[in-house]
Amino acid sequence: MKKKLVILLMCVSVSIGMLGCSGGDTKSKENKKESAEEQAPSSPAEQDTTDDNVKQSETGPAEQPKEEMPAGDYKDTGDGTMYIACADETSEDGKVPVIYTKEGAAVIMIEVNTKGFDGSKQSYIYVDGLLAAQEQLSDSSYSVDLGDDAIAVGTHKVEVMQYADDEPTGDVVTYKSASYEVKAE
């Protein structure tokens, strides 16, 4: 029963993520934006009360310190695969999914999908070189909310890294990357 509930919650999470990236009609997008603004915490203290069990991250808030990815010339290494998904497009087979956004958009969601990763290691998800999330990924789907510079018009890079000692100071054992493009509607 518990397994079925977990699967159901994962399906709902992916569905919501895909809906957040879809290019629906203008009225529903405006309603979503208003709803998101109403639900946004008004103080840093309120922001700290998030549920740790929700697999979601946001790169946008100015209050969060942004940790940079360790410098290096990284190449695809390690077991497993990773791709990003948004709306009807994915980065599978080297494709670059396109996200359409309006000026003033606050947050856009993408899904980071992994298969065959070492689930015993901490995975670090970077967007444009800035830490977006840390998660235990194996055969996983993880929602990442993009904000600020990560939704500016242009091409952006998502990188997932695992380290030998689970710390960014250690040797890289897994490195996977994919790109997405943001275009104005």
Query: 123-157 pLDDT, tens per residue?
Result: 999 999 999 999 999 999 999 999 889 999 999 99
Residue ranges with strand state E in 44-164: 56-58, 81-86, 89-90, 98-101, 107-115, 122-127, 130-136, 140-147, 154-163
Instruction: Report residue 72's pLDDT band, with 50, 70 and 90 as the boundaries.
Output: confident
Checking if the pLDDT of 56 tops 80, the result is no
Q: Report the percentage of the chain scoring pLDDT > 70.
A: 65
Checking if the pLDDT of 11 tops 70, the result is no
Instruction: Report residue 115's pLDDT band, with 50, 70 and 90 as the boundaries.
Output: very high
Checking if the pLDDT of 32 tops 70, the result is no
Higher pLDDT, residue 60 or 133: 133
pLDDT at 166: 93
Which of 55-59, 102-106, 166-170 has the least mean pLDDT?
Answer: 55-59
What is the SS3 assignment for 185?
coil
Per residue in 83-108, pLDDT (tens digit) is 999 888 999 999 999 999 888 788 88
Checking if the pLDDT of 37 tops 60, the result is no
pLDDT at 12: 54
CB-based contacts of 13, cutoff 8 Å, min separation 6: 55, 141, 143
What are the residue ranges spanned by the domains of the chain? 2-184
Give whole-number Cα distances, 30 to 9, 14, 49, 57, 62, in Å. Answer: 26, 22, 26, 22, 23
| Residue 182 to residue 185: CA distance in whole angstroms | 9
8 A C-beta contact, residue 68 and residue 130: yes
> What are the backbone angles phi and psi of residue 83, rounded to the nearest 5°?
-145, 160
| Residue 107 to residue 163: CA distance in whole angstroms | 29
Per CATH, the number for 2-184 is 2.60.40.2550
| Residue 50 to residue 116: CA distance in whole angstroms | 29
| Residue 143 to residue 159: CA distance in whole angstroms | 14
CB-based contacts of 70, cutoff 8 Å, min separation 6: 168, 169
8 A C-beta contact, residue 58 and residue 36: no
Higher pLDDT, residue 106 or 23: 106
Checking if the pLDDT of 46 tops 50, the result is no
pLDDT at 122: 96
